[in-house]
Homo-oligomer: A and B are copies of this chain.
Amino acid sequence: MTLSWIDGAPADSLSLTDRGLAYGDGLFETILVKTGVPLLFERHLQRLASGGNRLALALELPLIERECRAFAAQLGEGVMKLIVTRGDGQRGYAPTPGAPARRILQASPLPAYPPANSVQGIRLFPCRTRLAEQPLLAGLKHLNRLEQVVARSEWSDPEYAEGLMRDTTGRLVEAVYSNLFLVKGGMLLTPDLSRCGVEGVMRAELLDMAEQMNMPVRALELRMSDLQRAEEVFVCNSVYGIWPVRALEQLNWPVGPVTRKLQNLVRQLLDI
């Protein structure tokens, strides 16, 4: 039996009328747990709160925080997935205002990524699937993830650890389950996510980290031409940290000093 809770109690099945299933009406967080502690937890809670505000989900945040900490303590080490949904629904899209959100917690083991991903870096698959521009949902880690499912099914060759996703007009956005960073002209750059994409917890951490180190950093509109001229490229998320990107089709990048520096700092955050 894998560890899973609904609304604070052990459970492995969900009401069939849950709006998470019916409409993807909810949000999620994927949280690394080490020594019984959820890592980068304040940032995860912050993003969840902001998503809850934007979708008018009635989140009981102190309760969510308590449950996550208790669940992480039981899990010890692994990945904790928190899903919040708008709870049970009747027929029709209209939500019941103020209905308390349902809390679902699921555990999985630490993923076994090849160590080479962090050391030599990865090759990115060039996804044909484009992300739609939807400012209403941009940045949120919501449960409507068909674009990612279709993008991820474009390749099965393990040579590609991640895939590059652009929007329908060709702007760089992110990788399928990671955010994207470039180093160009000594500056740290990452795509602006006001039209689509997920505002990753590790991305937010790195943006703050760079500012604190007085490293020039910007979130802006980026295109393939920026990638062609980048000195370093990497992807990141809150579970694996940072993977240098060494190749995308004909393009190649070295694993550079900025990537290594941030990678070391992130390792201190995640390898507790």
Complex alpha-carbon distance, A142 and B6, angstroms:
25
When the two chains form their complex, are residues A20 and B21 in contact, meaning their CB atoms are under 8 A apart?
yes
Complex alpha-carbon distance, A13 and B196, angstroms:
33
A153 CB contact (under 8 Å) in B56, B130, B132, B149: B56
Complex alpha-carbon distance, A145 and B226, angstroms:
34
Complex alpha-carbon distance, A176 and B93, angstroms:
8
Complex alpha-carbon distance, A144 and B13, angstroms:
21
* Residues 1-45 (chain A) with a chain B CB within 8 angstroms: 4, 6, 11-25, 28, 30
Contacts of A136 in B (CB 8 A): 129-130, 147, 150
Complex alpha-carbon distance, A143 and B55, angstroms:
17
Q: At the interface, yes or no: A53 with Cβ under 8 Å from chain B?
A: no
Q: At the interface, yes or no: A233 with Cβ under 8 Å from chain B?
A: no
Q: At the interface, yes or no: A152 with Cβ under 8 Å from chain B?
A: yes
A25-B106 CB under 8 A given contacts A136-B129, A150-B55: no
Contact with B along A95-118 (1 / 0, CB 8 A): 101000000101010010000000
When the two chains form their complex, are residues B137 and A134 in contact, meaning their CB atoms are under 8 A apart?
no
A: number of interface residues (CB 8 Å): 61
Contact with B along A127-169 (1 / 0, CB 8 A): 0011011101100001111111111110010000000000010
When the two chains form their complex, are residues A149 and B91 in contact, meaning their CB atoms are under 8 A apart?
no
Q: At the interface, yes or no: A62 with Cβ under 8 Å from chain B?
A: no
Contacts of A145 in B (CB 8 A): 22-25, 93, 144
Q: At the interface, yes or no: A90 with Cβ under 8 Å from chain B?
A: yes
Complex alpha-carbon distance, A91 and B20, angstroms:
17
CB-nearest residue of chain B to A5: B16
Most buried by B among A12, A132, A147, A176: A132
Complex alpha-carbon distance, A13 and B104, angstroms:
14
A18 CB contact (under 8 Å) in B21, B129, B148: B21
When the two chains form their complex, are residues B24 and A23 in contact, meaning their CB atoms are under 8 A apart?
yes
Shortest Cβ distance from residue A76 to the other chain B in the assembled complex, whole angstroms: 17
Contacts of A95 in B (CB 8 A): 149, 152-153
Complex alpha-carbon distance, A208 and B149, angstroms:
33
Q: At the interface, yes or no: A253 with Cβ under 8 Å from chain B?
A: no
